[in-house]
Structure 1
């Protein structure tokens, strides 16, 4: 019954508006299938609509009709399915609206909803907001780390538990959780290795930092570095080795970024494992300096 109600009660124009995409026909022979369904008004072209910005249409024959990227056409009816992870859900792709627990105000969507803009109440942690959003930078590996500190301090001025000591127990708990998450976001994104691991996590790629590397050439190089650190005499010698390690670290950071841009997660993971070795070697030098 609910499916029948959905098919008959939801206007096609509304469904297409939710998709906010531009129609693209992949096969001319399939155009007649779409023509009757896209005749929204007399002023509309058969294959475009003012309601639609971009729709990537791909046809896949099924028992019940034809699937294409978003809407499903069959028997003159339309049912919008949005792919989320590995499942389909009959929901819009529009961003979920957040509402303040204290005053019921709705988030404006311009900043992460950690603090209500209306009543200034600290909000509960929302894990759908990632670290890049919290610190106001684009989600990519090569970021301007120097710009993170200002945003981090701004959040701490609003979220630090000491600043909400007079508030309710509920809000104090929210502030402690949000403050800890902002700290973790700052520490993660300012460290090249942690940032790389976090980005792959967002891509649902789990990295085992403890996995042993079988590359005999790399292992031999790491052993030589450790021996050089142990035998180094004086600060100058240690700083020279440190500079070499930083050069190697930068090489693998660049390698990770290239692999990430090409969505080559295997090479990206291999770069992370090598970065881990060099970071540990660098930490040994710092201990001796």
Structure 2
């Protein structure tokens, strides 16, 4: 009987803590785009000597995180198991609810992803600022992009979004058409080129090529680039320029394979260095094209 009486306060405290946690979670998650499915209390570690530790609630910054990150996913917020167990919470699965938009024309709720037109009034919608170029072009977020699929998507989108199709529409739709069409053009050009695609993937990770990157290059590589530029400047015939162009293309293909492998392995540092080298060869390739066009 004494043992049961000692356990009752702990069990009551545990249930009260869990109810309070779930209540605050539901209130906080209402202002976010994420909901939790199958969210349930976890078993507490009854071996902890300090019951206050076992039944303590998350600190204030935990709730602040939920309130100030409207686009965060539940998987990110709860990706570390220990805090969940520490706070008396457990999870089996989370599902992400797509961000809800309202049609600017009729006010209808738009919950479908990649929505360009309202499903009710068929009016063109504004660009979604949360979508990156891979989402816009419906491509896998990978350096090894399916170029044929990219081109098909581009043609289909421009067929639907081109401003010529909205010349008889209201002014706002015409403006949105110009924005959407320009965004599709920019996304297509960026993902089409290996160099621009790789640099864009770096920016998505918060990285970029700094000015003066050549200072970090190997002297041997810089000497090779200087030698190629001198050879190109000294060329007298179209055949000589073409030979240099073919050599540059071969080097670029090697770099493209290496960059793709680096991204697939998650080696962003190596990918960044390889893209810096690729930039040198792309510049020389442009000079070759310019030389051939002027000859």
Counterpart residue number, 1:168: 170
Return closer, same or farther for 1:116/1:6 CA change in 2, 3 Å cut-off: farther
Figure out how many residues of one structure are paired with residues of the other and give that number: 239
Quickly say closer, same or farther: Cα 1:251–1:4, change in 2 above 3 A.
same
Q: Deviations over 1:154-203 (max 9, x none)?
A: 11122222221222222222111111100001100110000001111112
Match of 1:179? 181
**What SS does the corresponding residue of 2:140 show, helix, strand or coil?**
coil
Alignment deviations for residues 117-149 of structure 1 (CA, whole Å, 9 cap, x no partner): 443322112121111122121110001212222
**Aligned counterparts of 2:219 and 2:39: Cα–Cα separation in 1:** 52
Equivalence map 1:120-135=2 (5 Å): 120-135=122-137
Match for residue 224 of structure 2? 221
- Say which of 1, 4, 7 aligns to 2:21: 7
RMSD between superposed Cα atoms in Å: 3.7
Q: Are 2:102 and 1:99 equivalent residues in the alignment?
A: yes
Unaligned 5+ runs, structure 2: 1-16, 49-74
- Flag the 1:154–1:106 CA change in 2: closer, same or farther, 3 A: farther
Structure 1 pair 119/257, CA: closer, same or farther in 2 (3 Å)?
A: same
Distance 1:97 1:270, change over 3 A: same
Judging changes above 3 Å, is the alpha-carbon distance between structure 1 residues 208 and 127 closer, same or farther for their aligned structure 2 residues?
farther
Distance 1:253 1:9, change over 3 A: same
DSSP-derived class of the 1:137 partner: coil
Q: Is the 8 A contact 2:99 2:111 kept in 1?
A: no
Q: Is the 8 A contact 2:154 2:184 kept in 1?
A: yes
1:264 paired residue number: 267
Quick one: distance in 2 between partners of 1:31 and 1:174? 59
Measured at CA, do residues 31 and 5 of structure 1 come closer, stay the same or move farther in structure 2, by a change above 3 Å?
closer
Higher share in helix = 2
| CA distance 1:277–1:215, shift in 2 (3 Å) | same
| Cα distance between partner residues in 2 of 1:21 and 1:269 | 41
Q: Please give the alpha-carbon distance, in whole angstroms, between the structure 2 residues aligned to 1:30 and 1:6.
A: 19
TM-score, normalised relative to structure 1: 0.70
Cα distance between partner residues in 2 of 1:239 and 1:196: 26
- Aligned ranges for residues 66-81 of structure 1 at < 5 Å? 67-68=83-84, 74=87, 78=89
Worse-matched range after superposition: 101-110 or 156-165 = 101-110
Does structure 2 retain, via aligned residues, the 8 Å contact 1:259–1:268? yes
Q: Within 2, Cα distance between the matches of 1:197 and 1:22? A: 39
Q: Could you say what secondary structure the match of 1:122 adopts?
A: coil
**Does the residue aligned with 2:214 lie in a helix, a strand or coil?**
coil
For the 8 Å contact 1:209–1:276, the answer to whether it is kept is no
* Partner in structure 2 of residue 243 of structure 1: 246
Name the residue aligned to 1:39: none
Instruction: Find the aligned partners of 1:125 and 1:79 in 2 and give their Cα distance.
Output: 37
Q: Which runs of 5+ in 1 are unaligned?
A: 34-52, 60-66, 81-90
Of 81, 106, 110, which residue of structure 2 is paired with 1:58?
81
Residue 58 to residue 171, structure 1, CA distance change in 2 (3 Å): same
CA separation in 1, counterparts of 2:126 and 2:241? 46
Question: Where do residues 108-119 of structure 1 align in structure 2 (5 Å cutoff)?
Answer: 109=112, 112-119=114-121
